[in-house]
Structure 1
Amino acid sequence: MTAKYYTYQEMWDELHRLEEQYPDFVQVEVIGKSRQGRDIAGVTLTNRKTGDPSGKSAVFVDANIHAGEVSGNAVAMYWMDWCLSSYGKDPEATELLDAHTAYVVPRIAVDGAELYMTTPARFRSSPHTYPYSEAPEGFIQDDVNGDGHILQMRVPAEDGGFVIDDVDPRVMRPRRPGEIGGTYYHVFPEGRIDRLSQTGSLPAYAKARDARRTGMDFNRNFPIRWAGESGQPGAGPFPLSEPELRSLAEFILAHPNIAAYVALHTTGGVILRQPSTGDDTILSPTDRNLFTRVAEMGAKASGYHTGSNYKIFATGHEKILMPGAADDWMYDHFGVLSFTLEIWDLSKRAGAHGYGEIGMRRMMELTPEQDTEDERKIYAWADKEVGAKGVFPWTVFEHPDFGTVEIGGLDPKFVLQNPPHHMIEEECRNVGAFLTKLGLSTAKLFIPSISVVEEGEGLYRIVAEVSNAGFLPTSSTDKGKSLLLEGIRAFVEGDVEVVAGESPTPIGHLSGYGSQSSWTPPKNQRAYAEWVVRGEKGTQVTVKFSGPRAGSVSQTVSLQG
């Protein structure tokens, strides 16, 4: 298997290869189309010889909801290949595919990611014009010098806020209060003023406002605490307004066996968990335990940091933290154990401060001197690890709008936002290890015992015990139970008459081993169903237990005395 970044066609070619090579394990479907008409792939992974995909508890992984976060797509593609090629060789891959199901949507922002991969363009999610109906006049990011990258520009200006660093002249440090007598610069992304010809003799800076043309943020468009454009830039005109997200939501709703969810994002090197609206005390003790233990397992597997959305991102300035986000929707509306995983920790590798480690509030408290020192460390790391492929010296360019400028900096795509090409495989392996263990953590039913007792006159009493051998409860979370998610039901099937008991018998939910305590015997992890049936001696009877997020298990017994 090879870890790489995929174009749209390369991704589909690889998905078709997997489906052809592993027909008993892979089903690829088109779950919807993008605004520009590209197909959105949905993949089902499981061993169909051991059961129907819908009859097993499932982990759901989606990726590349933001156009530039292509490392998420790379991880998803690599992980699927690893699971399939490791079946029968690796015990975790084998157990995952035999006993569980994985659903994967490897690229949501198919339009945006394709432009990101094939042009210098960078934007949040979708290339369509939003929030305006027509593209506004102003500054747009663009590859003005034609080198294939949109880097940074530094423009000499008396009122500039930056100065060349004395230690590393590639670093632009903030101009200090009261600092005079030097050469100062404006520093901003490489780009140009669009429609400048319509502004007459106005200087460039008079029209240099940011013309935000592709402002849609798919991960603010879900129907959870949705805030609208005025409350959250990129939110969209209404929840699930975007065809890509509508398709994703319909796919999720069509698979009620989803018990765990991971959204693969970039960047930061952190596994984000619930809650998003306050500190951990707003979670039930059960859910706090489940989220914390799974996230810590993921941190160990991936080498990343971990923390709640609230702990990592809250600064005290936001009214609502990340309204309309997918992981909140999955947990709050469906009770699914949900995570957002930010791939690639450049700061950690360079020995610099990173939000994944210290949180956004503390990042905001860093001094300009600390920020400058961090940037020096990142440049030093990039010199060693990527060299000229990712470090671009400041180079003079005669800009049509701003005159003499310099263009340079670090590769924004495959140094800053995503791992360099030669480093993506390590991220894929480490994150994939977490995805596998998360899938293995979902509920798994088994039948410890069944007894059949003859009671005379053709009557038999059947008592069957069921247990959850998974880490997670059959409701996925405590929240899932509170949302009245359908629990386990017990069935007795065969050429018999049920005289006493019900088929189906409602069992409710079972906890998993993740809820056990050494202070008490296991609670609510096992249950039983009982029936009295009438039938001929020797008749084969099948007892089955099933639940939406628990999967199903069955065993056949004979009516014998």
Structure 2
Amino acid sequence: MRPPTPRSPRRRVPHGRLATAATAVVLALAMAAPASSDTAERSRSYEVTGPRTAAQRTAVAATGASVDAVRPGSVVITADAAQAERVRRMGYAVRVLPGPPDRSDGRKATPFDFPPADAKYHNYKEAMAEVDANVAAHPSLMSKQVIGTSYEGRDIVAVKITNAAKKPPGTTAAKPEVLFTAHQHAREHLTVEMALYLLKEFGSQYGKDARVTKMVDERVIWVVPDVNPDGGEYDIATGSYRSWRKNRQPNAGSSARGTDPNRNWDHKWGCCGGSSGSPGSQTYRGTAPESAPEVKVVADFVRSRIVGGKQQIKAAIDFHTYSELVLWPFGWTSSDTAPGMTKDDRDAFATVGTSMAASNRYTPEQSSDLYITDGSIDDWLWGNQKIFAYTFEMYPGPSGGGGGFYPPDEVIDRETARNRDAVLQLLENADCMYRSIGKEAQYCR
């Protein structure tokens, strides 16, 4: 593990009154709920020694556990006791890992906030304040749209970044659009910081950095900083970490709460053993595609970018943690090519993905090289909308040595800036991804 950067002391800004009494009641109930009322509260993190192939890892995931990291000769999972026992019966050694880190720093926790030692992370209210501040600071470049609400009524926003007065040289066509989404999984808070970094960078470096300026002039950039605000707030509702993954909608007939947003997208949903039909599972896919309201909000937004029968969004990154990976579709099949994915498509994905990974020092691979998933955002963005969509699994690496899902706030600046060049590469390629394989004339003219 690289040594952490020195901490900059930050005084926590006191929280204001919650927007509505209804929201206050929901959050209070979430905080007060006893551990026994939620399946994920009874889940633990385990290292499973033995699985070495994608098929073996997929079989582990089929127990209902989530595969959180893939290591040489082992995987890390989040599972309840019954799921862990099913994995043991497969003949693997299963070792309990420590729970989320205690970052209280010897101080009293504040409800609905990050532990005191991790004060540089932004909770939902603070993140939305940062969004508003960036938009206000750069009104000629940025605008905010509320594209929908979460199950518990929190706004899901998209920030549009472009210089509307500028056009790509030599064309009258619409600017290519690129989408960046973050925080599908509640405990992956570093991804919100990644989205906020992008807003700050595109705003503050416009007119100063040639690459940033060119992309803001010649692209339309969309940033959705928080796809799962309810889950994120629940994860820190007690002022400490709960290792919550899903959203917070109830499941009829079950005490288990939440749907895994990244198994709820409407392409190959539930098709291939890459998600669970059990509400108690970490990878519960929901009752139907887009049954998670947050997924439907973002999917509707993407569909709204079809103008004149043509999707304007050309490329995308969905940020996750952890393992330091650049992943591309498909997740539902182990084949490099499949219906909806030609060899040229795959080669363009892999060429740009490998180049981005060389920049941020992540590992590039097709998603299904890890294990099979179905109903994921990348598969939907490509399979349904023909958007070149990637997943970035951020810091730390698969060993989890940097804190797993909860890296200390000292790494935020370093690990968000680490993706700067990779993000710019995707923006630069977005007008014609096939240029990367020498086939611009065939596909883009």
* Shared fold per TM-score greater than 0.5: yes
Determine the C-alpha separation between the residues in 2 that align with 1:118 and 1:262. 28
Aligned pairs for 1:460-499 (under 5 A) are 471-473=432-434
1:268 paired residue number = 323
List per-residue Cα deviations over 1:512-536 (Å, max 9, x = no partner): x32327xxxx743786xxxxxxxxx
1:327 paired residue number = 378
Aligned pairs for 1:165-314 (under 5 A) are 213-227=256-270, 229-230=276-277, 233-255=283-305, 256-276=311-331, 277-282=333-338, 283-313=341-371
Structure 1 residues 525, 112: CA separation in 2 closer, same or farther (over 3 Å shift)?
closer
Amino acid of the structure 2 residue aligned with 1:261: A
1:81 paired residue number = 200
Amino acid of the structure 1 residue aligned with 2:213: T
1:158 paired residue number = none
The answer to whether the Cα contact below 8 Å between 2:159 and 2:224 also exists between their aligned partners in 1 is yes
The answer to whether the Cα contact below 8 Å between 1:4 and 1:425 also exists between their aligned partners in 2 is no
The answer to whether the Cα contact below 8 Å between 1:100 and 1:439 also exists between their aligned partners in 2 is yes
2:442 paired residue number = 524
List per-residue Cα deviations over 1:128-177 (Å, max 9, x = no partner): 333x5352xxxxxxxxxxxxxxxxxxxxxxxxxxxxxxxxxxxxxxxxxx
1:99 paired residue number = 218
1:67 aligned onto 2:186: yes
Structure 1 residues 526, 245: CA separation in 2 closer, same or farther (over 3 Å shift)?
closer
Q: Look up the SS of the partner of 2:442 in the other structure.
A: coil
Structure 1 residues 226, 526: CA separation in 2 closer, same or farther (over 3 Å shift)?
closer
Q: Look up the SS of the partner of 2:373 in the other structure.
A: coil
1:438 aligned onto 2:426: yes
1:427 aligned onto 2:388: no
In proportion to residue count, which structure has more strand? 1
Q: Name structure 1 gaps, 5 residues minimum.
A: 136-212, 314-320, 355-377, 383-414, 444-470, 474-512, 528-561
Determine the C-alpha separation between the residues in 2 that align with 1:523 and 1:245. 36
1:116: how far off? 2.0
1:27 paired residue number = 143
1:42 aligned onto 2:183: no
Determine the C-alpha separation between the residues in 1 that align with 2:248 and 2:386. 33
The answer to whether the Cα contact below 8 Å between 1:344 and 1:418 also exists between their aligned partners in 2 is no
Structure 1 residues 230, 95: CA separation in 2 closer, same or farther (over 3 Å shift)?
same
Structure 1 residues 526, 442: CA separation in 2 closer, same or farther (over 3 Å shift)?
closer
1:426: how far off? 1.3
Q: Look up the SS of the partner of 2:379 in the other structure.
A: helix
1:8: how far off? 1.0
Structure 1 residues 525, 306: CA separation in 2 closer, same or farther (over 3 Å shift)?
closer
Determine the C-alpha separation between the residues in 2 that align with 1:437 and 1:118. 37
Structure 1 residues 249, 525: CA separation in 2 closer, same or farther (over 3 Å shift)?
closer
Q: Look up the SS of the partner of 2:146 in the other structure.
A: strand
Q: Look up the SS of the partner of 1:230 in the other structure.
A: coil
- Relative to the length of structure 1, the TM-score reads 0.52
1:208 paired residue number = none
Determine the C-alpha separation between the residues in 2 that align with 1:523 and 1:218. 38
Determine the C-alpha separation between the residues in 1 that align with 2:166 and 2:329. 33
Determine the C-alpha separation between the residues in 2 that align with 1:77 and 1:21. 14
Structure 1 residues 525, 225: CA separation in 2 closer, same or farther (over 3 Å shift)?
closer
Structure 1 residues 253, 124: CA separation in 2 closer, same or farther (over 3 Å shift)?
same
1:229: how far off? 4.8
Q: Look up the SS of the partner of 1:292 in the other structure.
A: helix
By relative contact order (CA 8 Å, sep 6+), the higher-ranking structure is 2
1:294: how far off? 0.9
Determine the C-alpha separation between the residues in 1 that align with 2:441 and 2:320. 37
Determine the C-alpha separation between the residues in 1 that align with 2:390 and 2:144. 24
The answer to whether the Cα contact below 8 Å between 1:267 and 1:418 also exists between their aligned partners in 2 is no
Determine the C-alpha separation between the residues in 2 that align with 1:243 and 1:265. 19
The answer to whether the Cα contact below 8 Å between 1:73 and 1:106 also exists between their aligned partners in 2 is yes
Determine the C-alpha separation between the residues in 2 that align with 1:4 and 1:78. 13
- Identical-residue share of aligned pairs (%): 26
List per-residue Cα deviations over 1:54-76 (Å, max 9, x = no partner): 92101101000111111111101
Q: Look up the SS of the partner of 1:60 in the other structure.
A: strand
Determine the C-alpha separation between the residues in 1 that align with 2:151 and 2:379. 25
The answer to whether the Cα contact below 8 Å between 1:123 and 1:214 also exists between their aligned partners in 2 is no
Determine the C-alpha separation between the residues in 2 that align with 1:107 and 1:278. 30
| Structure number with larger C-alpha Rg | 1
Q: Look up the SS of the partner of 2:126 in the other structure.
A: helix
Determine the C-alpha separation between the residues in 2 that align with 1:127 and 1:332. 27
List per-residue Cα deviations over 1:417-456 (Å, max 9, x = no partner): 132110121110112321121011111xxxxxxxxxxxxx
The answer to whether the Cα contact below 8 Å between 1:44 and 1:104 also exists between their aligned partners in 2 is yes
Determine the C-alpha separation between the residues in 1 that align with 2:359 and 2:342. 26
Determine the C-alpha separation between the residues in 2 that align with 1:436 and 1:118. 35
- Aligned-residue Cα RMSD (Å) equals 2.5
The answer to whether the Cα contact below 8 Å between 1:83 and 1:93 also exists between their aligned partners in 2 is yes
Q: Name structure 2 gaps, 5 residues minimum.
A: 1-9, 11-118, 306-310
List per-residue Cα deviations over 1:330-356 (Å, max 9, x = no partner): 111111111111111344xxxx5x8xx
Structure 1 residues 418, 441: CA separation in 2 closer, same or farther (over 3 Å shift)?
farther
The answer to whether the Cα contact below 8 Å between 2:351 and 2:437 also exists between their aligned partners in 1 is no
Q: Look up the SS of the partner of 1:248 in the other structure.
A: helix
2:80 paired residue number = none
